[in-house]
Amino acid sequence: MNQNIVMKMYNFSRKCYEKRLVFLARMCWMFNRIIFCADVPYTAKIDPTVRLGHNGLGIVMHVDTIVGANTLIMQNVTLGHNFGRTREDGTTGTSPTIGENVFIGANACVLGPVKVGNYAQIAAGSIVLSDVPEYSVVAGVPAKIIKTLTEEEAKYSMTKW
């Protein structure tokens, strides 16, 4: 697997954080912030197979964000907190949970305690404020479902990333 520098630094900082080497974890986080303008906190739970387009330029993630395997996140994406909201299923949470094999287009925002299902696709420039079901394509401000993919279409489109 070919990881970019931002993800390598995140993975290293996450391991440091898990071993309670918080100072070193913070130094790696600061390196990413200064050199790549990417705010990928070491407290976020990001699968090692996640890929960041354009080396993570301009990506901002909340400290409690969860990102599943094989997800592709393009440049200038915000995965952030939306104050005062609870999840649609009634559970509490502050930041997004992204499933596996998800595509998030450039300049998209996923705000609040939103769950994005596996194989979902978020169009560039979209603002996601509610849950996205599996195999859905969403676009717009606020994002709405514009298409539901079949399992075959979703897996085929993943080969194009």
Contact 68/118 with Cβ under 8 angstroms? yes
At 44, is the secondary structure helix, strand, or coil?
coil
Choosing from 14, 62, 81, 115, which is the catalytic residue?
A: 81
* 123/8 Cα distance (integer angstroms): 26
Respond yes or no: is residue 81 known to be catalytic. Answer: yes
Cis peptide before 113 (omega within 30 of 0): no
The residues annotated with a catalytic role in the active site are: 81
